[in-house]
Chain A
């Protein structure tokens, strides 16, 4: 290749050391937002610079990297970031969740259960869960320090009074290890339970806001709620059109210009794996009358 030579994973070693220190501090204080000296990355803010910096700092030559965006390995962002690390670190990549040692994700947690030794890196836009109600950084820092989280419940209260239920459907606030309230990044609240007692290490990077936080393995993570409005994970009431899964998070796909739609697993690896194991399209999947396009079940389909 005639391109420039990069340091392993793009960042210089001193920067990686600084970020690793921040990560260690974050792991020592689960859910606490550790400030770090976020670097200029070759992508604009808002495109995952925080996640990329965390991944770059922890990657080693033997790691196997998976990158997903909204659950999918093949969206433009996932592809770009994966190529970036191939170019700068030369690591092996995979789309198979169980094979990966490091998984960088935007807005979803994989359906496949994670195991010890894996690290899940989240891309975070706004790390401060209290930000929308309290714009002052000085105040929110004090609230975290003094565990003054009444305001968080005010937000949930407002939801219920306005919508009859807690309407927050993503970035649903959680309490980590019984101490810090944390924003789990814009993952759907459907994914919140996966964060609890997870065997993998979960790291969160916010590049623009310059914060890193972490959930060590096997840490208690509880979604905030009210006694009479308990937390309930939400998913479309439907079945994946490709693999018939009834318990995975579904994306709604518009298939033509007449409003036909189908629901498919958001996690592409999960869906593909199910299909290779013989799960086929369900005849019960909700589709409009009209064209069904060619996205039918793969090999070995059974009704």
Chain B
């Protein structure tokens, strides 16, 4: 939910990325406020993943800026952060959920340790409390306690994804980036995961940017949306407005292509 008094959490200004002569994304500008969920939709090659990587500081832009409001209230250009600062931000104030959970987990380390790692990285030194926090999160993402000491290679795909979410949320981040969080999962597993994401985002007042090609996911999770094609933002605004009353030809094409369930 939105708080009127808050200032923008993340600002993109004419964000552009070229890969040699190939455009990754071009002139993307928007502001994201605390508690807002924004979907970035587009088909393959639209530039949505490039945008996500630019916004999360994993790629340097060719032009433009990304500003983020730190916990102390100061708005910082991501490009001005030192590597240590950026890595710290990535581990505490931000979450990044990969499409493939193995990329966002340590597969050789137990589920509990996966969740506890970020806590240990910020200085938690009490085993009992770390384990308690891990158990708490297992509960919230609906993974049975008795799997806490098992390694994620023994988990199903849906469980791994939920573990990845827990691992990312344990430090109470204010902003979460998600790259096709339900991609590759069975439909029933997807539904459960979407439900979980929706609930957690609401409970924790997270801001989130979710890249997806699935308009139903966008409708379910986001209040705002950017439609991308060939690196450009074709249309943007309120999710229900853009999806119910699409203005641009490409958006109308996308919306009409959804098969009814």
Contacts and interface: CB of A to CB of B under 8 A. Distances in A.
Touching chains A and B, CB distance < 8 Å: yes
B194 to A, nearest CB: 30
A45 interface: no
Given A148-B121, A153-B125, A228-B126, A162 B116 contact: no
A150 B117 contact: yes
A161 B126 contact: no
Query: By CB atoms of chain B within 10 A, which of A133, A153, A227 has the most?
Result: A153
A154 B83 CA distance: 23
B191 interface: no
Interface string A151-185: 10110011011100000000000000000000000
18 contacts: A133-B106, A133-B109, A146-B83, A146-B84, A146-B87, A150-B117, A150-B118, A150-B121, A151-B121, A157-B127, A157-B130, A158-B109, A158-B110, A161-B110, A161-B112, A161-B113, A226-B125, A226-B126
A229 interface: yes
Contacts of B130: 157, 226
Contact of B113 (A154, A225, A227): A154
Given A146-B87, A150-B119, A228-B126, 8 more contacts: A146-B84, A149-B121, A157-B131, A158-B109, A161-B112, A162-B149, A225-B125, A228-B128
A153 B113 CA distance: 9
Given A133-B106, A157-B112, A158-B110, A151 B117 contact: yes
Interface in B172-228: none
B120 interface: yes
B81 interface: no
Interface in B86-125: 87, 106, 108-110, 112-113, 116-122, 125
A218 B102 CA distance: 44
Nearest to B116: A157
A149 B108 CA distance: 17
Contacts of A226: 125-127, 130
A106 to B, nearest CB: 29
Contact of B125 (A133, A151, A227): A227
Contacts of B109: 133, 154, 158
B163 to A, nearest CB: 14
B113 A157 contact: yes
A158 B113 contact: yes
A161 B149 contact: yes
Contact of A150 (B112, B120, B128, B131): B120
Interface string A111-155: 000000000000000000000010000000000001011110110
A154 B117 contact: yes
Nearest to A152: B120
Interface of B: 83-84, 87, 106, 108-110, 112-113, 116-122, 125-128, 130-131, 148-149
Contacts of A153: 120, 125
Contact of B120 (A154, A160, A161, A229): A154
Interface string A221-246: 00001111100000000000000000
A154 to B, nearest CB: 5
A150 B87 CA distance: 13
A226 B130 CA distance: 10
A227 to B, nearest CB: 5
A85 to B, nearest CB: 42
A141 to B, nearest CB: 12
A269 to B, nearest CB: 38
B117 A229 contact: no
A148 B87 CA distance: 9
Nearest to A135: B108
Contacts of A154: 106, 109, 113, 116-117, 120
Nearest to A157: B113
A41 to B, nearest CB: 34
Which 8 interchain pairs have the tightest Cβ spacing?
A150-B121, A153-B120, A226-B127, A150-B120, A227-B126, A146-B84, A154-B113, A161-B149
Contacts of B122: 150
A154 B106 CA distance: 11
A149 B128 CA distance: 19
Contact of B131 (A149, A151, A161, A227): A161
A158 B111 CA distance: 10
Contacts of A150: 117-122
B161 to A, nearest CB: 21
A153 B126 CA distance: 10
A162 B110 CA distance: 10
Interface string A266-292: 000000000000000000000000000
Interface in A34-61: none
Query: By CB atoms of chain A within 10 A, which of B117, B121, B127 has the most?
Result: B127
Contacts of A151: 117, 120-121
B121 A228 contact: no
A228 B125 CA distance: 8
A160 B106 contact: no
Nearest to B122: A150
